[in-house]
Amino acid sequence: METTSERPAWEFPNWIGPDAKSRRELLRVFRKNQCCHIRDRDHELKHFMQQSCGQLTDSGPLALAKLASVINILLLAVADRLQAGIAESKNDPQGFDQTIRQFFHGLEASCEKSSEAWSVGEMAHACRVGKSYLTASCRHIFNATPADQLNRIRLNHARDLLLDRPEVSITDVAFTVGFNTSQYFANRFKKQFGCTPAHYRQR
């Protein structure tokens, strides 16, 4: 399976975990569950971090070893909590599809991010997969190519801008959401929403 078309996929450094198998499992857990927060019941992680940080003031010869130990324990504690919330999927055992979903959800949440000059290769690299895997996954998840899904998201942002900022010209709206020409923007907009940007704004 391709992992990236340009650079090797990110991995945990060798000082994380006792062996490569453990590092792969940690990576799978963190990739599979992309939630922005975890529940720290009874503030166990908070207390652990407070105690650990107090012990890391030592600058002796074992300082780095102590730091590595703290990070390993913290990663395992977080992984245990994430593992409890992961729904296993035979079709996506490594969590790549979940990462792709999260990537496009991030573009949906940010007009500025989605307006960047994304190529398929850059999107694949951001998701830590190859271009062929990204294309196949997008067809499965969104029934669209990566470029088409990106355009859908940009057009949704444009639709909102047309109504929220009537003082902004349609050409400027097109450029703001990431299209290079207003004509191409108008054609794609009409195809997606059934009318031109000008008519949509008049409604």
Its pTM stands at 0.59
pLDDT, position 7? 47
pLDDT tens, the chain, 203 aa long: 444 444 456 678 888 888 888 888 888 777 666 555 566 767 787 888 887 777 777 777 888 888 888 888 888 888 877 766 555 445 554 568 888 988 999 999 999 999 999 999 999 998 888 899 899 999 999 999 999 999 999 999 999 999 999 999 999 999 999 999 999 999 999 999 999 999 999 87
Per the structure block, which two tokens stand in for 145? 């190519």
pLDDT, position 52? 78
pLDDT, position 85? 54
Long-range CB pairs of 200-203, under 8 A, 24+ apart, other chains included? 200/159, 200/162, 201/162, 201/163, 201/166, 201/170
- 38, HSE (Cβ side, Cα atoms, 13 Å): 22
pLDDT, position 51? 79
CATH 1.10.10.60 placement within the chain: 96-202
Q: Do 154 and 115 form a contact (C-beta atoms < 8 A)? A: yes
Fold of 96-202: Arc Repressor Mutant, subunit A (1.10.10)
Name the residue type at position 1.
M
Q: Do 4 and 131 form a contact (C-beta atoms < 8 A)? A: no
H-type helices in 33-95, by residue range? Answer: 44-55, 63-83
Task: Enumerate residues 6+ apart whose C-beta is below 8 A from 65.
Answer: none
Per the structure block, which two tokens stand in for 184? 């191409």
